Amino acid sequence: MFHNLRIIIFVYYVVTAIAIMTILYYFVAVIKIENIFILIFILSLLITFAGIIISKLSIDPLFEHLTNLQNLSKETLHELNLPISTIMTNIHMLKKNLSSDKDLKRAARIESACEMLQQRYNELDYMIKLQSSNVNYETIELDKLIESRVEFLNRIYPHMEFTLDLIETQIKNDKVGLSKVVDNLIDNAVKYSLNIHKIDIQLQGFTLYIKDYGCGIDDVELLKIFDNYYQGNQNMKGFGIGLGMVKRFCDANAISLKFRSKPNIGTTVILKFKEN
């Protein structure tokens, strides 16, 4: 579709250029208009008209394509929600009838995997709402939100030790987006913890600290960490897009984001929220 559109626009450019030159020739050679201001005015009108037509040819098909893509995404998400809910419901029922530790562990792994799918579903749903400016800002118990995200991630990373020191803190923000930010930061801390399986999370004075004891980041890498697809350690899993998304969210929501890090010692991420 876009290939054909480019051909149509190119042809229209050529035809428009020929038409403009022909009309100018008509006014100069046939009608013999010598007033330069009148010629400039006529030329401006022709260029404006040509620009409007080309814009219509370019934007309308693109807008239609994006609308169809968004509708497809919504329909796909709707279709995904049902099987995820079905799996979750049935695995809960199955666990009631299991007695073997081995079977219970298998059921727990299936449940964790399903929760991860549900999380991806929520993220896709959130991204669609974000594009349509349909984001819900609400009052959040920040300490409770952090506890719930750590509880979720601890099921995925049972080998990690999370130490929490959280003071009751209430803010108004986008709960879904903030949950994604916390998940990304803790997930990064886990991945770069290496052999020291410990994460310290502290919340005080509207400031959140997430500290790991991993490989750390040098000053050069700190300048690049928000670039899309950048990864300091190429052996780590992931696509390198998490911190870029975190930075965009923090900038959009007036959240100060800072990193303190030293190689082979660890990294502390600092989020400073606005007080209500």
pLDDT in tens, 42-97: 667 767 776 666 666 666 666 676 677 667 666 666 677 678 778 888 887 888 88
User: Which residues, 6+ apart, have CB-to-CB distance to 161 below 8 Å?
Assistant: 197, 198, 199
| pLDDT-based confidence at residue 222 (cuts at 50, 70, 90) | confident
% of the chain at pLDDT higher than 90: 22
Q: Which of these, 244, 238, 160, 246, lies nearest to 208 by C-alpha position?
A: 246
Distance CA 115, CA 88 (A): 8
Q: Does the structure show a pLDDT above 60 at 5?
A: no
Give the pLDDT score at 55: 65
Mean pLDDT of 5-28: 65
pTM to 2 decimals? 0.59
Q: Which carries the bigger pLDDT value, residue 240 or residue 6? A: 6
Give the HSE-up count for residue 19: Cα atoms under 13 Å, Cβ half-sphere: 12
| pLDDT-based confidence at residue 236 (cuts at 50, 70, 90) | very low
Q: Is 269 helix (H, G, I), strand (E, B) or coil?
A: strand
How far is CA 175 from each of CA 8, 93, 140, 187, 216, rounded to the nearest angstrom? 46, 30, 7, 18, 29
Mean pLDDT of 139-147: 95
Give the pLDDT score at 235: 43
Mean pLDDT of 6-14: 63
pLDDT in tens, 174-201: 888 898 899 889 988 888 887 888 999 9
Distance CA 253, CA 256 (A): 9
Give the pLDDT score at 201: 97
pLDDT in tens, 92-137: 788 888 888 888 888 888 888 887 787 777 777 777 666 666 677 8
Q: Residue 254 class from Cβ within 10 Å (0-12 exposed, 13-18 middle, 19+ buried)?
A: exposed
Q: Does the structure show a pLDDT above 50 at 30?
A: yes
The separation between CA 179 and the C-alpha centre of its own chain, rounded to angstroms, equals: 12
| pLDDT-based confidence at residue 234 (cuts at 50, 70, 90) | very low
**Beta bridge partner(s), residue 2:** none
Q: Which carries the bigger pLDDT value, residue 249 or residue 45? A: 249
